């Protein structure tokens, strides 16, 4: 149980949620999407525009790389994650609005604005969390974990 707490300690709960999402997308969904899902059913959304078929299949490796780098960056709390995590989430917010307007399944501007505002809030949280992606902070957490292991706490 302590090992699980230590694993998640360097990040606040909301960042751990994004980290877990990146892990899921990297190791479960994207391999399924790339290697199992038929091309005819494939869809990828980029900047709010839906790509289907071979265009979607061709861009899947880019999404896989993004989620993979996100998983690694959150796991190690790499300094380069700031500002990239916030910028990516801000792009998702804009995409939610664009998709909601362009796609019949989107529900229109109002639903896109509601969904987009949630992602804007998450992006702001990333932008103001620069200090969490500092090497010194990560080293401090690791040292604290090592000390607690030595003392048996």
d(CA 83, CA 88): 9
pLDDT the model gives residue 86: 96
Buried b (16+ CB within 10 A) or exposed e, 45-77: beebeebeeeebbeebeebbebbbbbbebbeeb
Predicted confidence (pLDDT) per residue in 72-116, tens digit: 999 999 999 999 999 999 999 999 999 999 998 989 999 999 999
Look at 142 and 126; give whichever has higher pLDDT: 126
Predicted confidence (pLDDT) per residue in 139-149, tens digit: 666 666 666 66
pLDDT the model gives residue 145: 62
Cβ contacts of 113 within 8 Å, gap of 6 or more: 97, 100
pLDDT the model gives residue 134: 75
Instruction: Give the torsion through C-alpha atoms of 76, 35, 92, 53, to 10 deg.
Output: 160
- Please state, for a pLDDT cut of 70, what percent of the chain lies above it: 88
Q: Give the pLDDT band of residue 137 (cuts 50, 70, 90).
A: low
Residue 70 in this model has a pLDDT that exceeds 60: yes
Predicted confidence (pLDDT) per residue in 38-69, tens digit: 999 999 999 999 999 999 999 999 999 999 99
Q: What sign for the dihedral angle of Cα 80, 82, 87, 90?
A: positive
pLDDT the model gives residue 88: 97
pLDDT the model gives residue 140: 61
Confirm if 16 and 4 have CB atoms less than 8 A apart: no
Three-state secondary structure call for residue 139: helix
pTM: 0.84
pLDDT the model gives residue 133: 86
């Amino acid at each position: 149980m302590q090992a699980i707490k230590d694993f998640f300690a360097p990040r606040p709960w909301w960042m751990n949620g994004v980290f877990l999402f990146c892990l899921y997308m990297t190791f479960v969904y994207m391999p399924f999407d790339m290697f199992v899902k038929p091309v005819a059913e494939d869809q990828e959304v980029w900047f709010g525009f839906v790509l289907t078929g071979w265009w979607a299949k061709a861009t899947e490796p880019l999404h896989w790389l993004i989620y993979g780098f996100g998983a690694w960056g959150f796991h190690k709390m790499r300094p380069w994650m700031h500002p990239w995590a916030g910028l990516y989430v801000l792009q998702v917010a804009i995409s939610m609005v664009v998709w909601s307007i362009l796609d019949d399944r989107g529900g229109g501007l109002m639903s896109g604005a509601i969904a987009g505002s949630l992602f804007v809030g998450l992006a702001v949280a990333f932008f103001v969390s620069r200090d969490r992606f500092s090497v010194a902070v990560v080293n401090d957490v690791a040292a604290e974990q090592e000390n607690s292991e030595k003392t048996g706490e």
